[in-house]
Amino acid sequence: MDMVISHESALSFLDACARKKSKPAYQIALAPYPGGLPYECAYRKEDFARFSLSRFARPNKCIDVLVPDKTFVRRVKGFTHHSAGGVLPDGSLLDAGGDILVCSAPMLFVQLCQGKSLIECIKLGFFLCGTYSPEPTSPTGTVERYPLTTTDVLEKYVPKARRLRGSRNAFAALPWILEGSASPMETELALPFFLPTKLGGYGFDAPVMNYPIPLPEKGRRILKKKKVRIDVYWPDQRIGFEYDSKAGHGRLEQHGSDQAKALVLESMGIHIESVTKAQVDDPRQLGILANMLREYGVSYKLPS
C-alpha cells in the first residue's frame, strides 16, 4: 500500500527539496513513479499510522492526500482527502521513499489551478518555474531554489491531463508563463507588460526573466563579479526593469550596488529602469513605463 501526498502538502515538500541550502531531512532522491495512481492507496486513519510523515508536516495545516475516487474520501483528523478525478498521465507522481508517493510539479500545477482565476494560475506557473522559495526568516522573504519544473514540461503534461480537475485553467495559463522569476515582486513587475490587453496587460513581446549579462573587464572590477542578471529584460531592444531593491527587498545596503550595476550596464548600452512597488500598483505609472518600452522599440500591440 502506498500513500500519495498531493496539493499544498506536496508543493511545500517539493519546494523544500529544491532549496539550494535545503534541510538535511529533505536531501533525498525523488525518482519518477511509472504509471498512474495505485488503486491501493492509504486513506484511513490506521493506514496513515504506518507511514513516517514528519517530512510533510506544516504548522496548523492538514496533510493533503490523494485517493483514487470519492469512495475513498474520509474525514480523518489532520488529513484532507482529494479524489484524483481521472486517470493520471505518466509523470504525475514521484517516489519519495518509504512507500510514499508525491505528486509532481506538473500534476500540482493542474491540481492547484482548480478554482483559481487565470491570473492566479499564471502566477502559480511563474512560481513553479521560478528560482525562489518563500522564507519568512530571510531578509528578502525568500531563499534560492532550483526550478520545480519548466514551461516545456508543463506544455507537454497539461494536455495529457485534460480530464483532471483544474486542467482547463492550467491549459489557459500556459502561454503566459515565463521561467526564471527570482521573487514574487519580479513576477508582479513583468506581468502587466506582456499579458494581452484582454487580461489587463499592454501586449508587449514577452521579456526574459533574470537575463544574464557577461561584464567587460572594467565592469568586473567595479561590481566584483563576471556577470549580472536583469530582473525583466528585452534583449533585442537592450532595455530592462529592475525591482527597486531598497523599496521592494528591504535591504538598504543593496541599494548602492543596484545603482552601480545600472551605471555599468548603461555604459554597455543597456538601459535599466528601477521600478518600485508604488509604480507597479499605479496604472498611470505603468502607462509611463509602457510608453518607454514602445519608444525603445519593443513590439507593442494596440488594444483591441
What's the average model confidence in pLDDT over 11-27? Answer: 78
Q: CA angle, corner 202, sides to 199 and 204, nearest 5? A: 115
**What is the pLDDT at residue 250?**
46
Q: Is the pLDDT of residue 243 over 60?
A: yes
* Identity of the amino acid at 46: E
Residue 245: pLDDT over 70? no
- CA angle 124/170/279 to nearest 5° reads 40
Is the predicted pLDDT of residue 151 greater than 60, yes or no? yes
Per-residue confidence at 22, pLDDT binned at 50, 70, 90?
low
Q: Which pLDDT score is estimated for 246?
A: 64
pLDDT tens, position by position, 106-120 = 999 999 999 999 999
Q: Is the pLDDT of residue 26 over 80?
A: no
Full DSSP string of 254-271: HHHHHHHHHHHHHHTT-E
Determine the Cα–Cα distance for residues 123 and 178; give it in Å rounded to an integer. Answer: 9
pLDDT at 150: 97
| CATH no. for 184-295 | 3.40.960
Confidence of residue 256 (pLDDT cuts 50, 70, 90): low
Question: Rounded to the nearest 5°, which phi and psi values hold at 2?
Answer: -110, 155
Q: Is 13 helix (H, G, I), strand (E, B) or coil?
A: helix
- Please report the pLDDT score of residue 8 as a whole number: 97
pLDDT in tens, 269-293: 999 999 999 999 999 999 999 999 9
Polymer length in residues for the chain: 304
pLDDT band, very low/low/confident/very high, at 25 (cuts 50, 70, 90): very low
Portions of the chain given CATH number 3.40.960: 184-295
